[in-house]
Every structure is written in C-alpha cells, then in structure tokens.
Structure 1
Amino acid sequence: MRQKLGSTAAALGTMLCCAVALAGPAPATDAPAQGPPVSETVVVDGDSGGRVFDGAGAVSAGASSRLLHDYPEPQRSEILDYLFSPGYGAALQILKVEIGADTNSTSGAEPSHMPTREQVDCDRGYQWWLMREAVERNPDIKLAGLQWGAPGWFEGGFWSQDNIDYLLTWLDCAEQHGLEIDYMGGWNESGYDEDWYVRWAAALEEHHPGIEVLAADDHPHAGWRVADSMAENPQFNDAVDILSPHSPCGGRTEYRDCPSTETARDLGKPLWIGELSSMAHDAGAAPLARALNRMYIDGRMTGLMTWSPISAWYANLPLADTGLMVAEWPWSGFYDVGSSIWSFAHTTQFVEPGWRYLDTGSRRLESGASIVSLASPSGQDWSAVVEAMDVTEPTTIALRPQDLPAGDLHLWRSDVAADGGETFADVGTLTPVDGEIRLTLEPGHLYSLTTTSGQGRGAGVPGGTVHERMDMAFTEDFEDVRHGGLARYFSDLSGGFQAEPCGAGRAGTCYRQIVSQAPINWGLVGDVPLSTAFGDPRWWGDYAVSADVLLEESDDGGYVELGGRLSGQSWGTAASGYHLRVGTDGWALVSRDHATRLETELTSGPESLDVGTWHELELRMAGERLTAFLDGERLGSVNDHGQRTGNAVLGVSAWDNAQFDDVTVRPVGPRPRFVPRDGLSATATTEHGFDRGWTYGAEHAVDDRPETVWSSRFGPSPGLPQSVTVDLGSVQQVQGLTYQPRLDGNTSGMVTDHRISVSRDGTSFTDVAEGVWDLSSSTKVAAWDRVPARYVRLEATADGACSATATAAEIGVVSGAGPAVTPTPSLERSPCLPPPEMDHTVPQEEMGAEASSVHGPNYTPDRAIDGDETTMWHSAPGAQDPLPATVTLDLGREYRTQALGYLPRQDGNQNGHVTAYEVQVRSAAGEFVTVAEGRWPGNGTVQHATWEPTTARYVRLVATDGTAGVAAAAELNVGHAP
C-alpha cells in the first residue's frame, strides 16, 4: 500500500501533484538492469532499531519575517505555501517563533505582548499571524516559543517568577488565537538557570499540560553542556523533555560533522538542533543537505530547526539573506526561492514526524555520501534520503530492503552543486532487480527514494523584478493602520512602534514608540536612539524626509530624530546615515557609520522643541547639501559627502515616548542615470568561495542586492591589488562609478585606495580616476569626463581594515546621459597605512600564542596569528571569566619590539572589540613589563600600540575592557626595529 504524504496540503498543491501524476514521469535512467558496478551495498532492515524522527522546521525570530507580512497578494500566499504547505516546497514540520520583547534581537525588534506589567495585548506583532497561516496550511505542524529578550519591568531579572507568569500569559494569548503550542524554551543563546527550568516545567504542567520543555537553546560554543548539567541534576533532568543546543554541526559552516555526546545520548531523551543557520538562500543547500542526514548519523539527533524560514528584512540590516527563501521587496512582490528550500523538501516531503529511523540504512558511505532510511509507524511505507555532497566521482550503490514493502520506488533528484542546476525533479521509478535497487550517485546531488506519493514543487510566480525600486514619493498618515498594529514597510530596529490614537489634541491615528523602560536585552544593545526604518535601501539619497513629531515627556536631553541615507545598522547599534536630532536642549545634524561606529556632529543650534507639543521636522538632502527645518523655519545647512544612499528612519531618545504623523519622503533632485543593472555582468581577478554561509562571486557586485558581496580571495595571499571589471554589454558613454561597500558591519575589504580604468575591448584599459576613499559603509562616487566604454574596472590597492582583501556590495556605472555626480573627495593618506613602527613585523608563522581565557575550541589564540582575518581568538563569556583577558605571543626569538597591530573580529559583530588595553613584553629570561596602555575606538578597523624599542621574546596584549565585556582578535602582529 502506498501512502500519500502531504494529505493536508492546500488545494493548489494537491492539484499540482495530480497533474504531474497524469502526465507521467520520465523513465528513470539511474537503475538499469545492467549498469555500473556497485561500490557499496546498504541493507535497509525494517526491523532494525532507530530513534523516532521529530521533524524539520524553522525559527522565525530577530524580525526575520517582518517584510513578509507586507507582501501583496498573491505573492504573500505563494511564499507561505512554499514554506508550510505539504507537498509544495519546504513543507516545514515545526515552526518556532520569537516571544518578542521590543528589543533588537538580530535584524530588528519584535513586539512584546506585555510591554508593561499592566498591559496585555495579544495582537501585537506578526508572529501570531505567521503561526495561523502555517497551521491553516498544515494542521499537523508543531509550534514552539522562545525568548531573545524580556521586558524591563521584570523584578528579579530574566530567570524570575515574573518571566514564568509572562510566558504563561503568552500561552493564554496563543489560545485566544486558536493556536496550540507544543514546545517552549528558555533564553536564546544566553545560558540557563536549572532551578528556573524546574519551576517553569511545574508551571506548564499546572496551567498548560502537554507542552514539552526545550533546553537550553544555548550558544553554539557551549556544546552539549546542558546534557552534563541534566546528568548531574535529577530535577533539572525531569524538567527537560528535549535537548536543543544550537549549531552542533558548526556555526555557518559546511555542516560536515554533526556530533552529540555520549552523555546526551544516554539521557534517553530526544536530541534536536534547536537552531542551525540556513545561510544564504542560494548557498546553503549543500550544508543543509548534509546536516539533515548527518544529524542522525553522527549524533542521533531527530529534529532540526533552521534560522530563518524566510529572509524578509531590509538588505542593509544584519545577516540579510539568511533563509530558505528571500523576500525583501514587498513593494514589487518579487521573491526568490533559491535552492536551499529543496534540501528541506528532500526530507520533509518524504518523511513525517513519527516515522522511525532504520539504523541499518542510516550511515555514512565510503564514497563520502550519506544515507538515512525511515519507515512509517505502520511499516507500510518507507523512504531513503541520500546526499552526495562530498562524492568526487560517480558511484553506484545498491539498497537491499528487508522486512519492508517490496515494489517500485519513486525517485526525486536535485543538483545542489551546480549554479542553476536541476532541483527537486521527479525523475521516474526505480524497480528492484533480485531484491536490489541500484542508484548511481553524481557529485553534489541529493536524492529521495520513496514508496509514497504527493510530492510537488509548487507554482508560485514572483511579481516584478529585483531591480524594481520602491517609489520615493512615499507618504504615510497611519489612518489605515489598526490601533496596536505595525505600519506597512516600517521595521523596528529597537524599541516598539505601533499605531495609536494621536495625543496632545490631534485627531486621528499616529505612530508611537510605546516602551519607556529598557528591556532585558539579548546580545549587544545599548541605549541607542530607538528607531524604525522604512523605504528602499537602494534609494539614491537626494530626498527630503519630513514628519510631524510629538515628544510626549522626557528628562533633560530628550529628542526625536528624522534620518535618511541609512546605509545600515548592526547588532543593536544606532542606525547609520544622516540624522536631524531636535530635542529639549537644541538641535544637531549628525552623521553615523555603523561599521566604524563613528558619530560626527556636522552642525547644531540652540533651537529646541517643547515636550507635549506637536512640531514639524524636515531633513532635506540634495547632493552634499543638508538642510534642517523646524516648523517650517530653516534651522541651518551644512555640506557633507559622507552619506549617499539608503532608506529613511524615525527615532527617539531611549527610553522616551514619542509620536509621529504624516511621514513623507519626496525627491529633491534628479537621480543619476545608471547603465541598467539587468544588462551588467562582472569578472574579478580572484573570488572567494563559500564562507560563513555566503558566496563571494563577482556577480554579486552588480546584482542590485546590497546584502550580497564580491570579495577577493581571503587570506594574506594573493593580497592586493585586486580588481573587479564590469561588462556593460555594449559600448556606452560613461562618466562615473558608484561603489557601495559591504553593509554587514564588517570593515574588512572596504576599498580605500583605488584606481578606475575603462576599455572598449576588454584588453586595453585607460585610467580615468584614482584616489583614496574614507573607511565607512557609505556609498562612494568617482567621476570623470564622459568617455565611451564597454568595460569599467575598479582596482583596489588598499583596504581600510588592512586585511589585504577587496570587497564590493554594489558597483554602479553612471551613463553619459545622466547628470554629473560629485565625486567623493580623496583623502591625502590611506587609513590603512600603519605607523612606521610596523614597517618590519615578526613573521606570524614563527610565533606561538597562549591565552588566559578561551571561548571554546573554535576560538583558540592561534587563530589570531594564522593570517586569516575570518578566524579569531575570543575570550570566554564575561559571566564565566570576566575581563581582563590576555593573549601572549611567543615570537620564537628575541626582537627589538616597538609596536603591536590589533585587528578586531571582522564578522560584523562588535562583541569583543577591545576598547582598553595594556601591552606587556619580556625577554627570554626577564619579567613582564608594561610598555604601552590606552584606549581604542571599539570599531572594526586595525589599531596600533607603539613604544620605545625594547628587546623581548614575548609580547602580551591585556584586554582590560571590551564590547559586551569580552575580548576578541582576528589578527595580531608585532612590529620590530630594523
């Protein structure tokens, strides 16, 4: 008997399955009666032991689903079908959502259902909506909740009775929405309190019996320590139903090994991957294919959740394009399915929760492939998933089913390795010959074999194209937004903004920041302006943003902000771009950069606003001219070239309440005319491949997606110069180039020293511009006299972080038909130039390193002297081992030392940036003496400490203070006298 998986699919998915069946699949070519010799035989015994499969799902958190809610129909429903409908796409079987706290939790802030102790609002946010949509498509989907932060009104902190009561109220809200929650956790990647879990489990048993407790959603580098704690504490062990650490396969890696521990396995409880990054939607397919098989083979893990299901946040916010799909263009309806979603489909469309792994048919193969086999509870159906990600040449395996239904197997196949390769194709039927099923594995392919039917690809068609910009003529009066709801296209970066009745005698609906007390934060979040962003991150920045504002009440120094040309925001830091700040103490125009974390006051004045009174603010940005207005009166103007492009933002001082109304964006100047991006292509001297979940090909520099990046090959070799060449497709008149650096908060590879050349034939190039750009995330411009060219080349001769790499998020070419653009002024000196004391450095390969504190095996001190700026030394969490922390370098022999070069971590996360330091040295036989001390700015750029030449074999960096109370170093170098 053949079971039809996905019987609860939407009607469209069902019709698609039937249509495919009627058409008839192509005959299989993978299992001829006589074929290639079998290299390995797998016996799949239906009576063999094995754990029960619990499901594969995703985590909607960190504001990852924010823009999905704003998509037009039918595209929004198509995306939801791809995620949740059985027999359609990813067919997610578990959905875990963030329990919001109005605090930044990666790519934004999610609303709390209890912003104050007295206020319960079960309709705040969009996770309720997402869960309802998921359940509507798959009534069998399992739902889970987890916190990233918590409201600040708790007494006793996070691990308190207040939090237990808060979570019970959230579960009551879920019931109001008709949602049945299956699993609840604790605090995302923030450790655990054993006694709290015991009390939490008891509360669930009393008020919501049947909900299972997940523990501990711990930081990836904590490993399986929760299992050790459970083994030592019987009460804690009884309280926890499922172990769910994060990233046991590694953090944003290839996911080649997915181990657990013997202690964890011996507890007799289900082991899950509580969170594993899905990575870029078009780059994570192979790692996910490995993880979905190897989690069980290596670690006996039976459930997996990936962050995130959909990358639906603005491209200039952290970790953009991390999802099974990407949908960050709600104004056009464009989205991209990519290949990652089909890695999930190869498991979820063939296996249901409750099926049992068959241990004899679940193992690694000698060819480098892996196979998992599972059978339905009745034993009447079975499926096998084979991933050949690490297979180097075609190889044929044979499956020998025993005590399983005999007969044909449907075969589905995806070419995961090839760019644009075949994905999730029904390639026919495999017929056993003498009880044996043969399958030839091709490198980089993924296969599913099954007795079931009902699988399908889906048929959604994106609207628009990736190149369609949001209209800059934008207005929002909030009158059509329900009270308590979120305005379309507004995405909170910090704080909580929502529609409410206007105050101070104003009629209608306004947009209000309602949180008045700092939440219990997750990660690095300071008292930065509370803000909400809106608009297209690719807007050319000649526009005015205006709004009516009301600062409700404030201590001295409170203010409201209007911002524009937002190039990004990173890990809870203040939004970048230009900001008009007007408060009770006067006004200022400020420029911020989120990568270097520098804020510059450009101009200011004494004019102020009154608390409790409505005022009109306008920030006008025309070329380099910035002009500020208050109540129609000009406050002042200033010229600045630091910010060029980006969307807009509203803000208020932390933690003050303010209201906004009649928000308007209007163009104030013509946009440069660019060579159309849909006709561009690019090549580069070198490209970096897969790293930390993304790829870095030259095509990313011209794909009109600011979150993707071209990078030259990482590491000290080949170094600079490196170049990327844009092919316009035909000879055209050109007069300028725009360079948008990476927007992920990482300064590595940001081009400073540059040369631009053009060519008609791609062989003979003529220089047209050169100079030194400042180190920042803002868009740069180079201009020249109009010339005909087909090829435009940007050559990087130095990067501001001194990492010997070159990167570009976007390169645009200004055509001769457009208005002239003002070039970015050139600096006289490259920011990368080290002091003379670093002219001679000790070879890193001759050094050794030791540290006083280490945060797990992936962050050892040798990573700071390996010549690879993508690796790092990291001290242990401050709660375990507070600063100071030290790294001691053994130079191998004595040198006349005189300088230390310190490169902070380069992954866009500010945690561990050393802000206060000492440098100590000692000779081979002496004692350590302090030779330098001071403070560094805490951004991602290379820093130096210098001293008088001193003979030493050992050089020690003492980090006395660092961001988030920890220390990290991507690279350390020692300068010596010649």
Structure 2
Amino acid sequence: MTVNIDMNTASLAENTLYKGFGLISANNSSRLLLDYKYEQPERYDEILDYLFGEDGLDISHIKVEMGADINSSSGTEPATMRSADEKADVTRGAGFQLAADAKKIDPDITLDMLWWSEPRWVTDSEDVYAARYKWYRETLISAYETYGLQFDYVSATRNERANDPDWTIYLSGHLKSDSGTPYDFSKIKIVDGEAVCTWGISKAMLGNEKLLNAADVVGSHYTSWSDEDTKKLQQEYGKEVWFSEASSPMSYAQGTYRYDGNGSGMGDINGLLDVANRIITMYPSGGMTLYEFQPAVASYYSGATYSQKQLILADEPWSGYYLLDSGFYMALHFSRFIKKGWAFVDSACAGDGKAGGDGHSVVDSTYSYMTCTDPETGDYSTVITNTTDAPINYTFNVTGTGKANSPVNVWETKGPSGGAWNGNYFRLRETVSPENGSFSVTVLPYSIITVTTLETERGEFAEYESRMLELPYTDDFEYSDEYLSARGGAPRYTTDEGGAFEVVTDDNGNKVLMQKITEATHAEEWGSTPSPVTNFGDDRWFNYSVSADVKFADSGEPDKNSTAVGLRYNLADSGASGWSLQLNEAGEWHLRIGSKPVATGNVTLKDGWNNIKTEAVYNTIRGYVNGELVTEAGENTEGYEMQSAGRAALYSSYYGNCFDNVRAEPVEGAEAYITRLDDTDEGITYKGDWSHSTMDSFKNYKRTISTGNSGASVSIEFDGTGILLIGAESGNAVIDTELDGNAKDDAFAVPKTSNRQAFYAIYGLDSGHHTLTVTVSEGSLVFDAAEVLLDREQSEKLLASGTKEKDP
C-alpha cells in the first residue's frame, strides 16, 4: 500500500484542525473519583495526570452532564438546582470538580455541558425556555463562583433526543445578550445535534438561517460517518463537526486473547482496534475533529449499565487501585504524537471500513490510517491499524515539508505473544531513515502503529494490585461539614442508581443519610430509573450482614413508603440486585431476590428509628427487624435463587427516608471474601464443544461468556475453601462434577439463573489447591465466572483497610 503524505494537502482552516480527545463525565461514571480525591489524593493526582497530562492522554475537552437526579444510563447525576429558588450547587456529583482539577493541569482544556433530563420545576414551568435558561445560567454562574470555571461551550439539545431549533435560537440569543454575568457569556459557543448516528441537525440548520447562526458546532454519537449537509456546514459555513459521544474499548484484553481467534485481545468489535478505527475514520469519512470518550475513566462499580468500557478503570477508592487498560495504550498512539491544533493531511487520511455490529463499529477494514502535521514545525505522525490476519506493508512518500527525510520512529501495540497481556503495548519498535522522502514499514496482523518524526520516551506506567475493602465497614455519616460541603453531601463509596442519597443534619443535630427525591421533584425520565437505591462496598463480599437504622418520612401513604437493606448487590443495571429485606412504614416486610418477593410478613414498628438487617451465610439468607429474626430462606424456599458475591445496598421509595449507623460485617465462622476468575482467565481449561464469546453483554463479568454443549468439560484450578460457578442459565443443562479427581455430583440439574447468579457451589473444603471439573451431560451450559472462597490467611493478603472513623 502506497500513501502519499503531501503537506500541501494539509487542511489548515481553523474549524478543521485536530481538536484531540474529549472526556464525558456523565451517567454516574465519574462518581468514585470523588472518593479517590478525598481518600487517595496521590492516586487521584496520578489518574488525572494520565488523563490530562501532556505525556498521558492529553485530553483537551470535558463535557459535564447537567444532572436531573434520574438514571441517564449507568447511574444518576445529581441536579444542581432541585427547585427554582434553590441556589445552584455544582459540588453535587463529580463532573464539575473533575473539570476544575483538570484545568489545574492544563488551563487550555475547553468545557461543555449537556442535559439528559432537566429538573422537574423546569419541565412544569409555564415558560419552559425561560426556566431552562435560568437553570443553565445559574449553573454556569455557580461553576464560576465555586471553581473559577468558564465554559467555552454549552450543548443545546437534550442528549440523543429530537432537536428543538426554537430552544437553540433562544439559548443563543440569551447568552449573547445576557448582562450581569461573571464572565462574557456571549463568547460561549453552542453545540447542537447530539443524536445517535444521524445528522438531522445539519439539514435543519441549512433550512433555518436563525438556527444556522445560533449553532457553532454540530455533533453526533457513535458514528464515524457524516453526510453531505454536515460537510457543507463545515466547508462553506465554517462550522465545527465533532464525534460528540464515542465509545472507549470494552474488551477484557487481560483474558480474551486466549480465545478471540487471533491471540491479540485487541480485535473484537468494540475492542481496541475497532475504536482506533473509529478515530481514524472520523475525519476522512465525517469531517470530525474531536473524539469524546464516554467514559474515558470508569469510576463506577462493575455491573452498572455499559460497564467494562474504559481507558482507565478506577473503582477501588478504598485501596487507590486503578488500571491503565488496553484503551489507554491505544489512545497514546494518538495523544503522544498528534497534538491539538495539528492539521489533518488529506492525502494521507483514509479508512475503508464500514459500519457494522450495532452500527457503531467499524468492520471489514483493511487500510486504515490517519496523518496529521504540525503546521509550524512540519513534524508529522501517522496512526495505522491492521485488523486482518496478514501483515500489510506501507510505503510512504513524504513531500512539502523540511522533515521529509527526518528519521521516523515506529511505535507499536500488539498482542502478548506468550508474555504478559500488555507486554507489547506502546513499544518503540524501530527507527526508519527515509531516502528521498520515502520509507516503508510493515504493520503486523491485529496491531496498531504510529510512525512519527517526534522523539519521545515511553516512560513508566503505574501498575497496582487490586485490594478488597475490609469488613467490618461502618458509616455513621458524621463527616465534617467541610468534607460534606466539598462533595455536595455525598457519603463515602456510594453510587446512586436511582434517587439521590445525601448526608443531612436532622432535627437532633445528627448527620444522617437522606433520600432526597420525591414524586413531586422526580424529573422526566431519559430512559428508565429504578426506585431509589444506592450501593457501596466491594463486590467480593460474600458471607456477611448489612444493617442500618431507618427512619420513615411522614408520607401519608404508609403502605407505599418503604426502605430496604440489601447485600450481594452486583448488577446495578437491574436496579434491584441481590437479596434485600424491605420494610414499609406500615410494618410490612418483604424478603426479596432482586425485585421478586420470596417471603412476607408484618411487625410492629417503634416510633422514630427502626433497624433492618440482612444476612447471607452461604446459601442461607436471614432478615431481622429491630434485632428479631423475621425470616430465613434457603435452597428449599420457593423462589430462592443462589446469589453470588456483591456489594451492600440501601433502598428507598420516593420519600425523604433516612438511614444511619450503617454496618457491614463478616459472619462469624464463614469466609467473608471471594476472589473472582473470569471464564477467560488463566487456570481454566476447556475440552470438547465450547464456544467463547469474547465480546458479549455487559451483564456478564468482563463481557465474556463460554458455552459448552453435551460432552464438553471445563476444569478450574483454584486455591481456597470453596467455589461458586456463575452464569445465566436457561435451565436445560445437566452436569457431572469431579473434585480433585473424585466424583462429586452426578446428573446435577442446573437451575435457571440470571446474569451474575450462581448455578453451582461447593463449600467447606480444606484450604488449599483444588481442581473442579464440570462435564456437560445434557443441554448447554453457560459459564461466566468462578468465585473462590478465601480463608482468613488468604484474605489478609488481599485486603486494604477501609473502615475509617469520621473525618475531622
């Protein structure tokens, strides 16, 4: 393949220059960064340096969700204004703080904000535009007064919903004419569009002069292709075009290379190379100049909608652990060598792939490359992928620059080749000396390279060990006022999937956790929000109890007003997950698995505070009210489902119910913790008729599953005292099991299960090394993960002390 890098074809118009990478802080995805900031400040600084530093991803743009206390996909973002007369509070949520801290690293980062829904008082207003503008205005002012932030952009259209040209025009006019603002709002540019894979906004702008003048940027989500109307807006009217919401890689590169068919861990749809191709293709096929990752850093818990999707994983604020995932190294191929303000070289940008998968992916690509040049120095860089099973040789002819004969460094990322999963990531492979402006390089199968005239050192990249949050873990919410005011009242380690759980001071001067959203303030849904629930802790907790004091708001509807305390919560996408004991204001209780009641009864409640406790001991679940056992369920209980390990959770209905003295503690005499093996991890061996899906639903751990048919077997080596097997089963499989070479269970009928539930368990083994072999004798078996119970000595090696007293 011959590529002519002709610098005379560089696109130098301001609106076509490369804008770099963006980060979207939305949908609860940044929530745990607050805890890194206040509990692990050194690690927080490291993460931000990797995101925004010049030697990291050099992210140049941040878009923050204007929250409305509804679930905008993977969690809720709190509203800055819950009523028309409330002073806007941008300390709620992580987004505005993240933007402020990023600007300390790079003051030139540009800022944008976008809404998925709006506060109820806006929607119910007689003049919605005026109320919405007040919300925008007060939020912008609060961001300036609190953090000194000046926003460069605001997005007009509700995320991924129909455009409202009249609102865009109204917003533009009011920003331009507003007076008495702390900085010049007339300079704030408007982004419009924000649809999924479509560009209807472009046609609307060309047909509406006022809209054309109001919007400065058009953006679309999850597509690398635009249309002729959009290109006309860019070429003839000077509008910017952005890939304004885009995916991060979703693949579990640490294990999938064993089963993806090419040994790279990089080649799946939604994997590293697919996402790289989306970035490469966005300019030649769409004119797009900015790629906004959603999310760049995943700082929410596993099991939230779309989780296992990140450049950096940061979901253990108690230990400070974070992971520079495969996407991070992919993004370095761009960020280290192509800087904001560089020009695309039109003759050397191409992508021959097509939209595939769910329509968001780039598939069937052979030749995919993107070249940019520094207009001032003449330096240039070309990023190339190869998603085929054969090497591709590229010959480059460089003209129009004094750097045509400068040495070219070749940086490469490829699969492990027998070493560590990331051992061949972002390595300087060779330096090539052009002759008469020409040189050749070979791109290996399933790899990405950057050829560049820039000189850089690889540097060292942090690698930490994951550590479990230690039990007992308690929270009485008596944080310092300073701590709470800096975090919008958010307690430590919680992520809200519905409602808003914030620390308040009660009438007695005690700090308690309150659910703040009522039916009267519940905003219009963007998608679907579960009943209020927050979850916290470690999803490797197994045999433990959770208790909390609860106080009901005076609802006037005691049979409809409830609270619940839950455990083994591991699939936030479902809203209700794991086991919980629900208690309503009338004294009626329900023991639930997920949202399904298994047992019910009544108790007489105390005035004021009551205590709910839920306990899990292997396959037995118990519920207590005010210290009295009210229910017990086990394998023989109708409706029972075997739930694997998970976090703790607090539930409420849409009333101002309160919680205090939350305590999660181990059960005496039972193993409190597990370690989890993915079905693609080392130590798991398959024989017979197995198929391995290395890019599957986010409801499966690491988005992977393995399916075995009759006669197939899997052997799992583990060190521990027991094991649970996880998978969403249809209930048609029969298995035979063998433990350490001896028959264990013959003709075991596998029950029907949901995602992240256990279908088989063995407890009470001597601590040590064991091998479990499972053979499918009938039907088909879905295997997602194995959870290994750890004895105390094993656990202590994996713990990070997480129980803390209240902050001073």
TM-score of the alignment, normalized to the shorter chain, above 0.5:
yes
Q: Distance in 1 between matches of 2:632 and 2:614?
A: 10
Which amino acid in structure 2 is aligned with residue 587 of structure 1?
Answer: E
1:720 aligned residue: 709
Q: CA RMSD in A?
A: 3.3
Q: Does 1 or 2 have the higher relative contact order (CA < 8 Å, sep 6+)?
A: 2
Task: Find the partner of 1:99 among 43, 66, 72.
Answer: 66
For the 8 Å contact 1:285–1:416, the answer to whether it is kept is: no
Q: Distance in 2 between matches of 1:675 and 1:171?
A: 45
Give the drift of 1:518. Answer: 4.3
Q: Distance in 1 between matches of 2:546 and 2:376?
A: 63
675 and 501 in structure 1: CA distance in 2 versus 1, 3 angstrom threshold: closer
Task: Find the partner of 2:695 among 691, 697, 710.
Answer: 691
Q: Distance in 1 between matches of 2:382 and 2:682?
A: 43
Please tell me whether Structure 1 or Structure 2 has the larger radius of gyration of its CA atoms. Answer: 1
Task: Find the partner of 2:348 among 352, 361, 376.
Answer: 361
Of 618-627 and 209-218, deviating more is 618-627
- Secondary structure of the structure 2 residue equivalent to 1:322: coil
693 and 562 in structure 1: CA distance in 2 versus 1, 3 angstrom threshold: closer
- Secondary structure of the structure 2 residue equivalent to 1:46: helix
770 and 451 in structure 1: CA distance in 2 versus 1, 3 angstrom threshold: same
What are the Cα deviations for residues 761-813 of structure 1, in whole angstroms up to 9, with x where unaligned?
Answer: 7xx987556123133343344349979985423345678xxxx6724133447
Task: Find the partner of 2:166 among 192, 195, 208.
Answer: 195
- Secondary structure of the structure 2 residue equivalent to 1:271: strand
783 and 93 in structure 1: CA distance in 2 versus 1, 3 angstrom threshold: same
For the 8 Å contact 1:292–1:347, the answer to whether it is kept is: no
For the 8 Å contact 2:82–2:521, the answer to whether it is kept is: no
1:375 aligned residue: 373
534 and 558 in structure 1: CA distance in 2 versus 1, 3 angstrom threshold: same
What are the Cα deviations for residues 537-577 of structure 1, in whole angstroms up to 9, with x where unaligned?
Answer: 1211x322222222233131343423223434454x53222
Give the drift of 1:690. Answer: 4.5
Q: Distance in 1 between matches of 2:549 and 2:791?
A: 38
Q: Distance in 2 between matches of 1:42 and 1:751?
A: 59
Question: Is there any run of 5+ residues in structure 1 with no aligned partner, and where?
Answer: 1-38, 249-257, 695-704, 714-718, 742-746, 819-978
Residues 1:42 and 2:4 are matched in the alignment: yes
Give the drift of 1:310. Answer: 1.2
What is the correspondence of 1:187-586 to structure 2 with a 5 Å cutoff? 187-207=158-178, 208-220=185-197, 223-248=198-223, 258-268=224-234, 269-280=239-250, 282=253, 284-364=271-351, 368-390=366-388, 392-418=390-416, 419-453=421-455, 456-462=458-464, 465-466=465-466, 468-480=467-479, 481-483=483-485, 484-503=488-507, 505=508, 507-516=509-518, 517-526=520-529, 528-540=530-542, 542-556=543-557, 557-571=559-573, 573-586=574-587
412 and 424 in structure 1: CA distance in 2 versus 1, 3 angstrom threshold: farther
1:621 aligned residue: 616
2:805 aligned residue: none
Q: Distance in 2 between matches of 1:476 and 1:549?
A: 13
Give the drift of 1:621. Answer: 3.4
Give the drift of 1:322. Answer: 1.0
Residues 1:774 and 2:752 are matched in the alignment: yes
Q: Distance in 2 between matches of 1:161 and 1:44?
A: 51
For the 8 Å contact 2:736–2:777, the answer to whether it is kept is: no
Give TM-score scaled by structure 2 length. 0.82
For the 8 Å contact 1:349–1:455, the answer to whether it is kept is: no
For the 8 Å contact 2:695–2:703, the answer to whether it is kept is: no
Q: Distance in 1 between matches of 2:788 and 2:544?
A: 19
118 and 707 in structure 1: CA distance in 2 versus 1, 3 angstrom threshold: farther
Work out the number of aligned pairs and report it.
Answer: 723
For the 8 Å contact 1:285–1:341, the answer to whether it is kept is: no
1:744 aligned residue: none
For the 8 Å contact 1:551–1:658, the answer to whether it is kept is: yes
Which amino acid in structure 2 is aligned with residue 726 of structure 1?
Answer: S
What are the Cα deviations for residues 590-637 of structure 1, in whole angstroms up to 9, with x where unaligned?
Answer: 3133xxxx5124121142465xx2333333334454444444445454
Which amino acid in structure 1 is aligned with residue 600 of structure 2?
Answer: T
Which amino acid in structure 1 is aligned with residue 725 of structure 2?
Answer: Y
Task: Find the partner of 2:138 among 157, 166, 169.
Answer: 169
What is the correspondence of 1:780-799 to structure 2 with a 5 Å cutoff? 780-783=759-762, 791-795=771-775
Give the drift of 1:172. Answer: 1.0
Give the drift of 1:46. Answer: 3.5
Q: Distance in 1 between matches of 2:311 and 2:618?
A: 38
For the 8 Å contact 1:68–1:76, the answer to whether it is kept is: yes
Residues 1:151 and 2:119 are matched in the alignment: yes
Q: Distance in 2 between matches of 1:784 and 1:676?
A: 14
Which amino acid in structure 1 is aligned with residue 229 of structure 2?
Answer: T
577 and 766 in structure 1: CA distance in 2 versus 1, 3 angstrom threshold: closer
What is the correspondence of 1:11-50 to structure 2 with a 5 Å cutoff? 39-49=1-11
Quick one: percent identity of the two aligned structures?
A: 23
What are the Cα deviations for residues 380-416 of structure 1, in whole angstroms up to 9, with x where unaligned?
Answer: 4332222233472241422323234344245242224
Residues 1:711 and 2:688 are matched in the alignment: no
580 and 759 in structure 1: CA distance in 2 versus 1, 3 angstrom threshold: closer
Q: Distance in 1 between matches of 2:781 and 2:632?
A: 38
Give the drift of 1:721. Answer: 3.4
Q: Distance in 2 between matches of 1:187 and 1:146?
A: 7
1:178 aligned residue: 148
What is the correspondence of 1:748-763 to structure 2 with a 5 Å cutoff? 753-758=733-738
- Secondary structure of the structure 1 residue equivalent to 2:280: helix
What are the Cα deviations for residues 323-372 of structure 1, in whole angstroms up to 9, with x where unaligned?
Answer: 11112222222221122112222112222222211111222489923222
Of 237-246 and 543-552, deviating more is 543-552
Of 642-651 and 782-791, deviating more is 782-791
Residues 1:53 and 2:24 are matched in the alignment: no
What are the Cα deviations for residues 72-111 of structure 1, in whole angstroms up to 9, with x where unaligned?
Answer: 2432222221111111x22212221211111112221111
1:600 aligned residue: 597
What is the correspondence of 1:69-80 to structure 2 with a 5 Å cutoff? 69-71=34-36, 72-80=40-48
For the 8 Å contact 2:539–2:569, the answer to whether it is kept is: yes
For the 8 Å contact 1:66–1:313, the answer to whether it is kept is: yes
For the 8 Å contact 1:558–1:583, the answer to whether it is kept is: yes
- Secondary structure of the structure 2 residue equivalent to 1:525: coil
554 and 723 in structure 1: CA distance in 2 versus 1, 3 angstrom threshold: farther
For the 8 Å contact 1:316–1:567, the answer to whether it is kept is: no
Q: Distance in 2 between matches of 1:356 and 1:84?
A: 21
Q: Distance in 2 between matches of 1:149 and 1:297?
A: 33
Residues 1:109 and 2:50 are matched in the alignment: no
Task: Find the partner of 1:739 among 725, 729, 746.
Answer: 725
Give the drift of 1:522. Answer: 4.3
Give the drift of 1:737. Answer: 3.8
For the 8 Å contact 2:9–2:347, the answer to whether it is kept is: no
